[in-house]
């Protein structure tokens, strides 16, 4: 098994000069390829901050984030954008999609940014949207989709870029329990069948129960790390 | 797809975008129309100046100056006129004798410039004959006929057949007085000139001045202004001892007026463009503020700065590119219509235009190159004003934008 994500003494301090807040405090983690990991902890424990650091959206105060052997904290801004495009899939809590693009275009867009040829794009868009159960909603705009459907499109989009792993910050927070369960089914199936690595933060016990590894953060520190 | 996103974003706020497009269209329309009006006014001013005052080319003795009471004359006028008529592009020529003098009537006197003209030749070169308001244009067989401007006539209560006394100096500095009979009263666009110019028959004036086949001035009307430069050269080689000048040299103020008007119209265009660009910047900044989260998502996913910049730039340009052709089209329709039918400025300005040597009816005109120039200016404005919002978008940080 190969390590996809490794953090070394990773810290993020807000307001270091006034009242320092250690949002992420000396975190050392190794995530293997194919893991299905939940990041849990009370509100303000640093889940979002940690995911942003791993996703290269935020700069750490100290420590390293190594993805597939590359220390992304050392990348120049333009390289980092490109690295995200080719290596990291994102699913945000809500309003993930570009409102003026259809489901199909939202998924296709990321492949366009990657310069994937048209024929391959079209094939992948259809496969992916069918995979997340939206084969009949391809030409719908986000506003015409339910919250759960939008999140599924976001998952399809994350997959379209063929990333090393997918980061999801509270992907089910705005969904009812049926839609949440459905999204988790799709994510779990992708994890099982395609060995896709997922890290998602959540407060929802039913979602936590589906995870194969649960990392608990308290005050920016890893309190427990359980594999099941 | 960047274009698709930009295009669809334009229509997210239909009303707001339509307002911007309409203002671009209005701005372009106003800029073009205004420019064409100024150009029309300039053309009209030039036409009036050429047809009534300066003609295209004038010939004088090298030492001639209009202010002289006794200006030096040119000789062999009849031969000269015949020779000039054969030059390419020449439509008509006439000769004039001038004298500075006094006009005295029963009610008062005034300084005047007396011009002796050759009526049939003069009529082919200038529009003087058509400006007769009362009386006739040297048709009476009586000697010492005189034409006087309406303003001066009114001042001295002069009517056709009134008698006036002209006093001036002859070649040997003798003071000469002679009685003239008013045959006609004329009125041109240039009321200032109307007050000082009186016209008499050249033979009458020559006789009084002891001149023979001589004159102070030869005026040449060409088929068009395009012949001015070449015509001047050809005439100058025919008469090396004479000073040959174009209307630009004789009346630099006419050229200056036209140049000033072009500049003034450009100032208006720039003010309009500034207003447009404020509208565009405002709208786009609003759009970016509303879409902060969306832009954050695009940045997070890995859309690079160049593509993001292009997207915002495209959206801004689209706003302009929809409005601009509409404005150009409406302006083109209006200008084309007015260039044939004319626009009566007395509706806006009363009769005051005439006081400045302008005609009351102007024919707006705009050359294709001038359309292109203004359209280019609009596009450049759009580009410049889209840079600002685009830079604003680039300055967003993905983490913060996503939280928004
Ligand atoms: N931009 C910021 N400036 C200052 N402090 C911040 C900033 N962002 C986060 N924090 C602080 O860092 C800590 C961790 O926040 P974070 O959002 O990562 O928590 P979280 O575990 O995601 O919480 P939640 O479950 O509510 O989403 C909190 O104490 C928060 O107040
Ligand atoms: Mg959070």
Domain residue extents for chain A: 3-227
Q: Identify the architecture of domain A3-227 in CATH.
A: 3-Layer(aba) Sandwich (3.40)
C-alpha B348: how far from chain center: 18
Note the pTM of the prediction, 2 decimals: 0.76
Atom nearest to A46 CA in ligand 1: 18
Report how far ligand 2's centroid is from the alpha carbon of A154 (Å). 18
Which residue of A52, A82, A97 is in closest CB contact with B304? Answer: A82
Report how far ligand 1's centroid is from the alpha carbon of A206 (Å). 23
Domain residue extents for chain B: 2-49+255-403, 62-241
Give Cβ neighbours of residue B15 (< 8 Å, ≥ 6 apart): none
The answer, yes or no, to whether any atom of ligand 1 lies below 6 A from the CB of A216, is no
Report how far ligand 1's centroid is from the alpha carbon of A23 (Å). 6
The answer, yes or no, to whether any atom of ligand 1 lies below 6 A from the CB of A21, is yes
The answer, yes or no, to whether any atom of ligand 1 lies below 6 A from the CB of A121, is no
* DSSP-derived secondary structure for B351-388: THHHHTT--SEE-----HHHHHHHHHHHHHHHHHHHHH
- Residues of A72-106 as b/e, b for ≥16 C-beta within 10 angstroms? bbebeeeebbbbbbebbbbbbbebbbbebbbbbbb
Residues of A in contact with B305 (CB under 8 A): 78, 81
- For residues A126 and B150, what is the distance between their CA atoms, to the nearest angstrom? 89
Ligand with an atom nearest the CA of residue A41: 1
pLDDT tens string for chain B (404 positions)? 889 999 999 998 899 999 999 999 999 999 899 888 888 888 888 888 888 888 999 999 988 876 666 678 899 999 999 999 999 999 999 999 999 999 999 888 999 999 999 999 999 999 899 999 999 999 877 889 999 999 899 889 888 888 999 999 887 778 899 999 999 999 987 788 889 999 999 999 999 998 999 999 999 999 988 899 999 999 999 999 999 999 989 888 888 888 888 888 888 888 988 998 998 899 899 999 999 999 999 999 999 999 999 999 999 888 888 889 999 999 999 998 988 888 887 766 666 655 555 667 788 888 888 889 888 888 898 888 888 899 999 999 888 888 76
Structure tokens belonging to residue B299: 């940045």
- For residues A103 and A121, what is the distance between their CA atoms, to the nearest angstrom? 14
Residue nearest to atom 26 of ligand 1 (CA): A43
The helix or strand, by DSSP H or E, that contains position A42, with its residue range, turns out to be none
- For residues B308 and B316, what is the distance between their CA atoms, to the nearest angstrom? 13
């Amino acid at each position: 098994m190969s390590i996809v994500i490794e953090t070394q003494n990773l810290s993020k301090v807000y307001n270091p000069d006034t009242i320092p807040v250690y949002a992420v405090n000396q975190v050392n983690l190794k995530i293997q390829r194919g893991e299905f990991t939940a990041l849990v902890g009370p509100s303000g424990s640093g889940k979002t901050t940690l995911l942003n650091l791993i996703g290269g959206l935020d700069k750490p105060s100290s420590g390293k984030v190594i993805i597939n052997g590359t220390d992304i904290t050392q990348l120049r801004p333009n390289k980092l954008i490109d690295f995200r495009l080719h290596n990291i899939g994102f699913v945000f809590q809500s309003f993930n999609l570009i409102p003026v693009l259809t489901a199909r275009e939202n998924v296709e867009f990321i492949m366009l940014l990657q310069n994937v040829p048209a024929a391959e794009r079209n094939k992948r868009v259809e496969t992916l949207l069918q995979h997340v159960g939206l084969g009949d909603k391809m030409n719908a705009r986000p506003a015409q989709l339910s919250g759960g459907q939008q999140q599924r499109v976001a998952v399809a989009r994350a997959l379209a870029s063929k990333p090393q792993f997918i980061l999801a910050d509270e992907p089910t927070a705005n969904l009812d329990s049926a839609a949440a369960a459905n999204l988790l089914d799709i994510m779990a199936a992708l994890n099982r069948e395609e060995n896709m690595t997922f890290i998602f933060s959540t407060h929802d016990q039913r979602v936590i129960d589906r995870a194969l590894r649960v990392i608990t953060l308290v005050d920016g520190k890893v309190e427990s790390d359980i594999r099941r | 797809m960047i274009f698709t996103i930009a295009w669809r974003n334009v229509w997210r706020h239909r009303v707001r975008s339509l307002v911007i497009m309409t203002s671009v269209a209005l701005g372009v329309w106003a800029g073009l129309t205004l420019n064409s009006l100024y150009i029309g006014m300039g053309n009209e001013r030039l036409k009036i100046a050429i047809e009534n005052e300066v003609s295209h080319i004038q010939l004088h003795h090298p030492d001639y100056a209009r202010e002289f009471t006794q200006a030096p004359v040119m000789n062999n006028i009849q031969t000269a006129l015949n020779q000039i008529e054969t030059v390419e592009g020449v439509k008509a020529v006439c000769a004039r004798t001038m004298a500075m003098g006094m006009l005295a009537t029963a009610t008062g006197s005034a300084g005047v410039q007396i011009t002796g003209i050759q009526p049939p030749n003069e009529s082919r070169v200038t529009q003087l004959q058509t400006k007769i308001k009362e009386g006739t244009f040297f048709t009476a067989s009586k000697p010492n006929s005189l034409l006087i401007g309406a303003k001066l006539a009114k001042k001295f209560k002069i009517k056709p057949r009134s008698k006036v006394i002209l006093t001036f100096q002859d070649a040997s500095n003798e003071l000469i007085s002679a009685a003239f009979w008013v045959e006609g009263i004329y009125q041109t666009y240039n009321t200032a000139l109307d007050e000082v110019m009186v016209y008499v028959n050249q033979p009458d004036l020559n006789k009084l001045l002891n001149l023979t086949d001589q004159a102070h001035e030869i005026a040449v009307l060409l088929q068009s202004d395009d012949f001015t430069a070449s015509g001047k050269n050809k005439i100058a080689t025919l008469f090396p001892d004479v000073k040959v000048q174009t209307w630009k040299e004789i009346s630099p103020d006419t050229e200056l007026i036209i140049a000033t008007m072009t500049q003034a119209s450009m100032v208006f265009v720039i003010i309009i463009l500034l207003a447009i660009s404020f509208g565009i910047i405002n709208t786009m900044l609003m759009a970016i503020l509303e879409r902060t989260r969306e832009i954050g998502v695009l940045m997070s996913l890995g859309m690079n700065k160049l593509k993001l910049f292009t997207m915002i730039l495209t959206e801004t340009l689209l706003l302009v590119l929809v409005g601009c052709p509409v404005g150009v089209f409406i302006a083109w329709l209006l200008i084309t219509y007015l260039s044939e039918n004319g626009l009566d400025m007395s509706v806006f300005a009363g009769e005051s235009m005439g006081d400045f040597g302008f005609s009351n009816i102007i024919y707006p005109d705009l050359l294709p190159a001038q359309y292109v120039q203004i359209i280019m200016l609009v596009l450049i404005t759009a580009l410049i004003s889209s840079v600002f919002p685009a830079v604003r978008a680039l300055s967003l940080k993905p983490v913060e934008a996503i939280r928004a």
